[in-house]
Amino acid sequence: MARFVVRRLAGMVAVLFAVSVVVFFVFNVIPNSDPAERMAGKNATAALVENIEEDWSFDEPLPQQYLAMMGKVFTGELTSYEPEIPVNERIAEGIPATLSLAIGAAAIWMFFGILLGYLSAQRPHGWLDKLLGGISVAGISIPVFLLGPVLIYLLAEQLGLFPNGQYVGITEDPLDWAYHLVLPWLTVATLSIGFYSRVLRSNMLDAMDEDYVRTARAKGLSERQVLRRHVLRNSLIPIVTLFGLDFGATVAGTAIITESIFDLQGVGFYAAEAVGNLELPPIMGITLYGAFFVVLFNALVDVAYAYLDPRVRLGSEAR
């Protein structure tokens, strides 16, 4: 098992290296215009462009440029040019909001996703299944940028039940913190609830056809015991995998749109800002940060999977 973990971590590093190279290419090597000009963004002056050229070694060969870029990333010298803010700092400032959004939404979507999926699979094709199925399909079809504004308009503006944005730190006021996050949590969770409930339902229906479920029934277990201990347990394994990746992606800041709509000053919000100003350094930094989390959670998920499915764990020793 330990060997497996080590191998996975080594793989992680390799992928991150490849990712950084890709990022490098996207930003510096895309054959179109002068990279320095692009880097300077919207309000470029000649002096700024020259500065950038030197700073980033754009006149040097490619490997040199790559090292220059990575050097900046790791020493925290990556800064956006207008305004001049160190990217790493700003990302760090944004993490609490992003984490709050991710963790809360994740808790909601996992709980309801699994519950709805389980209920659907219990009596397939029944009325409850069809109803929940419809809700699920609707859930995954409503994009965040529709749901968010609708929730804000209905619940915040019209009914005044919830605030329409802003992030309040948990240390400042836990209740207020949660109060401000309810709508964003719902917005992010809705899509995933639909998705997970459908996946779990599908997995459970497949599992119910398996031979070991027939054995479980033949052993004299009650239907509920069969569902919970054999069908559900086995069906959850792929769900754990998906969850790990999803959660990683959310922490990575893919909740960009939600954070923009609800004015939550997280990492995603920062990314949206940078896009608006066409600033490359922050986007570069956030992309690397994001990839790091995705790859990290990928590796974690693999390890978790090995823990949950003994066949994977003991791969080479199986007969």
Q: Which two tokens stand for residue 84?
A: 């001049």
Does 69 interact with another protein (rule: CB under 8 A)? no
Return the residue matching tokens 């922050």: 282
Does 286 interact with another protein (rule: CB under 8 A)? yes
- Segment interacting with another protein (CB under 8 A) among 1-9, 67-75, 92-100, 145-153: 145-153
- Segment interacting with another protein (CB under 8 A) among 66-74, 94-102, 151-159, 177-185: 151-159
Report, in Å, the least distance between residue 38 CB and another protein: 5
Does 249 interact with another protein (rule: CB under 8 A)? yes
Does 143 interact with another protein (rule: CB under 8 A)? yes
3-state secondary structure (DSSP) of residue 79: strand
Q: How many whole angstroms separate alpha carbon 190 and alpha carbon 138?
A: 9
List the interface residues with another protein, window 192-211 (CB under 8 A). 205, 209-211
Does 228 interact with another protein (rule: CB under 8 A)? no
Does 230 interact with another protein (rule: CB under 8 A)? yes
Q: How many helices (H) and strands (E) does the chain have?
A: 15, 0
Burial (0-12, 13-18, 19+ Cβ within 10 Å), 164: middle
Stretch 155-194: interaction string toward another protein, x if CB under 8 A: --x-------------------------------------
Q: Which two tokens stand for residue 227?
A: 């569902």
Identified binder of another protein from the candidate list 254, 262, 302, 306, rule CB under 8 A: 254
Q: Which two tokens stand for residue 88?
A: 């790493």
Query: Given its phi and psi angles, is residue 253 left (phi above 0), alpha (psi -120 to 50 degrees) or beta?
Result: left
Q: Which two tokens stand for residue 105?
A: 């939404």
Identified binder of another protein from the candidate list 36, 79, 234, 244, rule CB under 8 A: 234
Identified binder of another protein from the candidate list 13, 92, 150, 161, rule CB under 8 A: 150
Element (H or E) spanning 117, and its range? helix 87-122
Q: DSSP secondary structure string, 294-308?
A: HHHHHHHHHHHHHHH
- Segment interacting with another protein (CB under 8 A) among 58-66, 77-85, 181-189, 286-294: 286-294
